[in-house]
Amino acid sequence: MEWGVNKSIQINYMQNIFVVIPAYNEEKKIRGVVEGVLRVAPHVVVVDDGSNDETAKSVANMEGVRVLRHIINRGYGAATKTGIAYALSMGADVVVTFDADGQHRPEDVPALLAPIHAGFVDVVLGTRFHKNALKVPFLRKFSLKLAVVFTRIISGLRLTDAHNGLRAFSRKSLEKIDFHKNGMSAASEILDEVARHKLLYQEVPVVISYTPYSVKKGQSTFKKIMLGLDFIGGKITRLYHK
């Protein structure tokens, strides 16, 4: 089932939604991204992951925005975990993770919230692979499909898009999910936790905008493959020590 925007959901649940945006050297994009997100959610948490530019300063005085800073660059996973922990401490009922480089659309957020607010699932995952999707660059599509295979083998989850940072989590799910990877492989570790705790999940169609900026900021196919191998190695190690 595909979920559309339900305005009553936005109104009834606005106070409990936090959007977490990990950011590293995103001074060119972060303010515009945050302005867009604030149109669909009341609370935004920007985690400046040790940037050496004006990322934090760009959004520091915006109403509804909390800026957290890591002294050093710790990685996507660490920044995401910091943001989620803060959101939960502030009473969040739902937390959405959102990329800082402008490739995600704020207007897709309500569709991620709908299945959780309806009580059908615990986790909603955005997927860029659907009938109305924009064209995905070939090498990126190859690496993403490889990630889907890895996820199916390792975690058992049936997904079409395993590395989409646009995700929504109920508070209940986040109180169970425990991830430790500091880098991008945390995205796979979170899916492993969804499977381990048998959390109900669903994918919804979203649009990923590939611009020269976002493509340049993204990871190479080789790095994505290495991240997958790193995650698999960590999974095997955890199983061995059980």
What pLDDT sits at residue 8?
40
Q: Are 30 and 46 in contact (CB under 8 A)?
A: yes
DSSP state of 208: B
Question: Is the predicted pLDDT of residue 9 greater than 50, yes or no?
Answer: no
What pLDDT sits at residue 11?
41
Question: Is the predicted pLDDT of residue 3 greater than 50, yes or no?
Answer: no
The full set of domains in the chain, from first to last, is: 7-240 (3.90.550.10)
Nearest partner of 34 among 63, 54, 14, 13, judged by Cα: 63
Which residues lie closer than 8 Å to 138 by C-beta, 6 or more apart? none
Q: Are 24 and 55 in contact (CB under 8 A)?
A: yes
Strand blocks (E) in the chain: 17-23, 43-49, 65-70, 94-97, 123-127, 167-170, 201-205
| Triad 90, 175, 3: Cα angle to 5° | 85
Strand blocks (E) in 82-158: 94-97, 123-127
Mean pLDDT of 161-190: 93
Mean pLDDT score across all residues of the chain? 83
Q: How distant, in Å, are the alpha carbons of 84, 91, 114, 150 from that of 95?
A: 7, 10, 13, 26
pLDDT tens per residue across span 46-82: 999 999 999 999 999 999 999 999 999 999 999 999 9
What pLDDT sits at residue 74?
97
pLDDT tens per residue across span 160-170: 888 899 999 99
What pLDDT sits at residue 229?
54
pTM: 0.81
Helix (H, G, I), strand (E, B) or coil at 15: helix
What is the C-alpha separation between 107 and 45, in angstroms, rounded?
Answer: 18
Residue 150 pLDDT class (50, 70, 90 cuts): confident
What is the C-alpha separation between 69 and 18, in angstroms, rounded?
Answer: 17
Question: Is the predicted pLDDT of residue 1 greater than 50, yes or no?
Answer: no
What is the C-alpha separation between 121 and 200, in angstroms, rounded?
Answer: 5
DSSP state of 97: E
Bridge partners, 208 (sequence order): 104
